[in-house]
């Protein structure tokens, strides 16, 4: 379909036919340029393929070159983390902070000096708060000498903030130093002295027999754990139910990277991926499945450890037992995950040294051969040593999805971001390695970027990646599909997508039809400037829709609108997805009514002002003492100034349960807008009944009187609110039906089904091939 057939009605409205012709010409020229770039890209790819056929055997395939970027906190020992400028913040800043705490502890008691004060260090540790019980997690620490580092590790554990109760089990392998003298003096720490020196494996296995926790963690004695270490390890098992082993990101004391997951090559040799590099690089900072994790910080369910028999004594006294365990976990049908949000500082080599020619470390070479002998059939699927590490680090990836928006999603601030996060999860459920790239704001945002990384999304951010076109030049050829949100973002990104990812299906998520919302606002306010702006936006949106492989909307109404406005362009009706949270708080334990929205979105401001001016006075008169709770992000002064005794400004709410479980009715008095409203689905997912205008529920498939109550005039809206507020039977009906609707129509399973169908439609359109059958 040509742009002209899409945009003609809007131009007629404006009466600017001359400008229409000019714009159509420009769009046509752009389209031709995009196709030209596609041809150039295809030719370049053919040349690269031909060149690679002549590379010498063993040549390293594509990898992202190491680059040097300033890490201010690590490079300036006097730098205060609180003083960092936004673009100086790095994902692993907490490692530097913990490393300094460790050095301060060691220095405080001169533990590495000629006259260490072990007694004072033990006394200081005993003065810290005792561990809570019963333990959910058992942390097993094998000890052989190096008392200073063991006490340093204990210091970090006793100070560690976590939601889990844990116990610490020290297994002393007949240490040759003063460990047997001082370690038993640690209060609340379980200490066991082996009858004879048996090595690392025997110590770990002994510790596991003493453990009482549901989860076991094997932790080296020469480490410090970093903030979030334990919570992230244990949360990973709930996040990935098939996970059998989860391991941490390992750092040297200066913050540099020791390991971001391990790679095992075809010959059985193993790599600490990323060793010595900047740990903050995106490729080291998201969760993924890996070959193995070095055993200095790994977690397993205790039942699985016992099922597998722990570390295999075939590898006595130490080395490669962690590789073998990871392979056995997979052979048992479970997964091995690297969780980079769980970090440790590892003073490598303090227990066994680093010289592979002598001592215990010499077993590393011997046991590598044993790994090959045991797993050689499995290893035939691995690459030769050092070949293509960028791809071998996540060997199970077979297809990739790129998701693009203005900035990292902020799900605690707006419903649209909730949908973006759930879309990323659905992509991963369909087997896609999922990448997120911002079109505009490349800032690393500790709260929001990290949330994506911990769930396994490969995120791009400055200074390591910067600029969408540059990113696509480097990585575009990897992607099977690209999903872009918002027309303004797609306008800017489409040329680079077509140029550098011509193989990818291009999906455009409108979020809501901007021009439709603007038209309604103009109709409500009589604003002629808004009416003209809506006409221009219609041209832009329909122009984009005409160039992509499939357009996505959450609204059935918008599907009908686009069927008429953009005939022949594929459109997919993707359900607004929400998790079902439910509620245990009954009708009688609640009071008040509430509204939730992001106030960077003007229709939400209008809705609150309209409700306070036209509807709430009727409720005040009918139900004295009722309060209106206004919650949400980016609240402007015109909203905050509404505060009074019965209008409560709650602002940002970190946990929506705090809002929805306390109130009785959710009101959605929207007068303008477009698309399906996430705030309504969110309220229903928590079991709170909803009263809404027609605009609020349009296109969502909700029935008045079944899942929601719908009213449009102030009097009707107030009446419906009072019925839901006073009638316990009606309240329970709406609560149950709303939750059922979320579980059935808005589930992630349904979202996955529709996305798979959408991708099929997009490829058919892209390849101009009709579906078989």
DSSP secondary structure string for all residues of 221-284: SSEEEPTTHHHHHHHHHHHSTTEEEEEEEEE-TTS-EEESSEEE-TTS-EEETTTTS-TTSGGG
pLDDT digits (tens, 9 = 90+) for 312-356: 999 988 789 999 999 999 999 999 999 999 999 999 765 544 554
pLDDT digits (tens, 9 = 90+) for 161-198: 999 999 999 999 999 999 999 999 999 999 999 999 99
Q: For the residues 533-548, what does the mean pLDDT come to? A: 90
Share the mean pLDDT of the chain.
88
Residue 486 has pLDDT above 80, yes or no: yes
HSE-CB of 103 using CA atoms within 13 angstroms: 11
Residue-level pLDDT at 505: 96
Q: In which band, very low, low, confident or very high, does the pLDDT at 576 lie, cut at 50, 70 and 90? A: confident
CA distance 427 to 422: 9
Residue 533 has pLDDT above 70, yes or no: yes
Residue-level pLDDT at 3: 37
Residue-level pLDDT at 13: 44
223 close to 347: Cβ distance less than 8 angstroms: yes
> Which H or E element spans position 722?
helix 714-726
Q: For the residues 585-611, what does the mean pLDDT come to? A: 92
Q: For the residues 28-48, what does the mean pLDDT come to? A: 47
Apex CA 457: angle with CA 761 and CA 304, to 5°?
Answer: 110
436 close to 457: Cβ distance less than 8 angstroms: yes
Residue 10 has pLDDT above 70, yes or no: no
Q: What are phi and psi of 423, to 5 degrees?
A: -65, -40
742 close to 580: Cβ distance less than 8 angstroms: yes
First CA to last CA distance, the chain: 24
359 vs 483, residue with greater confidence: 483
Residue-level pLDDT at 327: 98
227 close to 161: Cβ distance less than 8 angstroms: yes
Which of 605, 609, 589, 720 has its CA nearest to residue 666? 720
Q: The tokens of 206 are what?
A: 């002994």
Domains (range + CATH), the chain: 75-392 (3.90.550.10), 406-573 (3.40.50), 587-746 (3.40.50.2000)
Q: In which band, very low, low, confident or very high, does the pLDDT at 589 lie, cut at 50, 70 and 90? A: very high
Residue 122 has pLDDT above 60, yes or no: yes
Residue-level pLDDT at 50: 38
**In 268-414, where does DSSP find H-type helix?**
302-308, 321-331, 363-379, 389-392
pLDDT digits (tens, 9 = 90+) for 77-102: 999 999 999 999 999 999 999 999 99
Q: For the residues 119-146, what does the mean pLDDT come to? A: 97
The residue assigned the tokens 């037992």 is 321
C-alpha to C-alpha distances, 717 to 673, 688, 698, 711, 725, nearest whole angstrom: 18, 17, 16, 5, 12
Q: The tokens of 164 are what?
A: 């889990």
pLDDT digits (tens, 9 = 90+) for 351-384: 544 554 545 566 788 899 999 999 999 999 999 9
Q: The tokens of 113 are what?
A: 């000096």
Residue-level pLDDT at 350: 52
Which contacts of 11-16 are long-range, i.e. CB under 8 A and separated by 24 or more positions?
Answer: 11/539, 13/535, 14/532, 14/535, 14/536
CA distance 551 to 511: 10
């Amino acid at each position: 379909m040509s742009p002209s057939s899409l945009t003609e009605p809007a131009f007629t409205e404006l009466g600017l036919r001359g400008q229409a012709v000019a714009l159509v010409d420009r769009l046509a020229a752009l389209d031709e340029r995009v196709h030209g770039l596609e041809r150039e890209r295809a030719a370049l790819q053919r040349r690269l393929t031909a060149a690679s056929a002549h590379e010498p055997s063993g040549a390293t395939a594509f990898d992202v070159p190491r680059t040097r970027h300033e890490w201010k906190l690590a490079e300036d020992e006097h730098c205060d983390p609180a003083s960092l400028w936004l673009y100086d913040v790095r994902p692993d800043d907490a490692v530097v902070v913990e490393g300094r705490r460790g050095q301060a502890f060691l220095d405080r008691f001169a533990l590495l000096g000629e006259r260490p004060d072990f007694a004072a260090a033990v006394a200081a540790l005993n003065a810290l708060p005792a561990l809570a019980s019963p333990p959910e997690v058992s942390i097993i620490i094998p000890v052989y000498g190096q008392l200073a580092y063991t006490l340093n590790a204990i210091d970090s554990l006793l100070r560690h903030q976590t939601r889990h109760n844990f116990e610490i089990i020290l297994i002393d392998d007949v240490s040759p130093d003063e460990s047997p003298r001082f370690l038993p003096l640690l209060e609340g720490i379980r200490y066991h002295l082996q009858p004879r020196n048996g090595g690392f494996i025997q110590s770990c296995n002994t510790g596991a027999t003493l453990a009482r926790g549901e989860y076991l963690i094997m932790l080296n004695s020469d480490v410090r754990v970093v903030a979030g270490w334990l919570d992230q390890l244990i949360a990973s098992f709930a996040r990935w139910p098939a996970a059998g082993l989860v391991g941490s990101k390992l750092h040297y004391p200066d913050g540099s990277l020791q390991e971001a997951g391990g790679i095992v090559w075809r010959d059985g040799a193993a790599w600490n991926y990323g060793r010595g590099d900047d740990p903050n690089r995106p490729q080291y900072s998201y969760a993924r499945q890996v070959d193995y994790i070095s055993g200095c910080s790994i977690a397993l369910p205790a039942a699985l450890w016992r099922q597998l028999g722990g570390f295999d004594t075939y590898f006595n006294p130490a080395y490669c037992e962690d590789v073998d365990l990871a392979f056995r976990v997979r052979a048992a049908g479970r997964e091995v995950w690297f969780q980079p949000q769980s970090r440790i500082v590892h003073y490598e080599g303090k227990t066994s040294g680093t010289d592979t020619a002598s001592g215990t470390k010499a077993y590393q070479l011997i046991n590598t051969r044993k790994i090959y002998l045991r797993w050689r059939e499995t290893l035939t699927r691995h690459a030769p040593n050092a070949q293509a590490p960028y791809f071998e680090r996540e060997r199970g990836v077979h297809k990739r999805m790129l998701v693009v928006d203005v900035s990292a999603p902020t799900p605690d601030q707006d419903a649209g971001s909730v949908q973006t996060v759930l879309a990323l999860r659905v992509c991963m459920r369909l087997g896609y390695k999922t990448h997120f790239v911002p079109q505009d704001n490349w800032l690393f945002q500790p709260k929001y970027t990290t949330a994506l990384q911990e769930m396994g999304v490969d995120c791009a951010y400055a200074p390591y990646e910067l600029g969408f076109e540059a990113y696509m030049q480097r990585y575009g050829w990897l992607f099977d599909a690209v999903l872009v949100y918002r027309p303004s973002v797609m306008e800017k990104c489409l040329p680079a997508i077509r140029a550098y990812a011509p193989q990818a299906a291009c999906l455009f998520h409108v979020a809501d039809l901007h021009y439709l919302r603007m038209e309604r606002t103009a109709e409500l306010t009589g604003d002629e400037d808004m009416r003209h702006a809506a006409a221009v936006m219609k041209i832009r949106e329909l122009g984009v829709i005409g160039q992509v492989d499939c357009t996505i909307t959450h609204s059935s109404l918008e599907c009908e609108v686009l069927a008429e406005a953009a005939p022949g362009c594929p459109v997919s009706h993707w359900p607004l997805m929400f998790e079902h949270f439910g509620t245990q708080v009954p009708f009688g334990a609640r009071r008040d009514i509430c509204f939730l929205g992001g106030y960077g979105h003007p229709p939400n401001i209008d809705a609150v002002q309209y409700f306070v001016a036209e509807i709430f006075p009727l409720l005040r008169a009918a139900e004295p003492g009722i309060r209106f709770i206004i919650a949400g992000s980016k609240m402007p002064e015109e909203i905050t100034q509404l505060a009074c005794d019965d209008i409560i400004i709650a602002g940002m709410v970190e946990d929506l349960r705090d809002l929805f479980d306390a109130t009785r009715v959710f009101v959605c008095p929207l007068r303008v807008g477009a698309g399906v409203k996430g705030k309504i689905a969110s309220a229903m997912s928590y079991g709170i009944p909803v009263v809404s205008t027609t605009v609020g529920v349009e296109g969502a498939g909700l029935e008045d009187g079944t899942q929601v109550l719908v009213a449009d005039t102030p009097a009707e809206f107030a009446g419906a609110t009072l019925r839901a507020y006073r009638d316990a039977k009606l309240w329970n009906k709406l609560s149950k039906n709303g939750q059922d609707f979320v579980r059935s129509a808005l589930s992630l399973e349904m979202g996955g089904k529709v996305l798979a169908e959408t991708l099929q439609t997009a490829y058919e359109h892209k390849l101009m091939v009709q579906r078989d059958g």
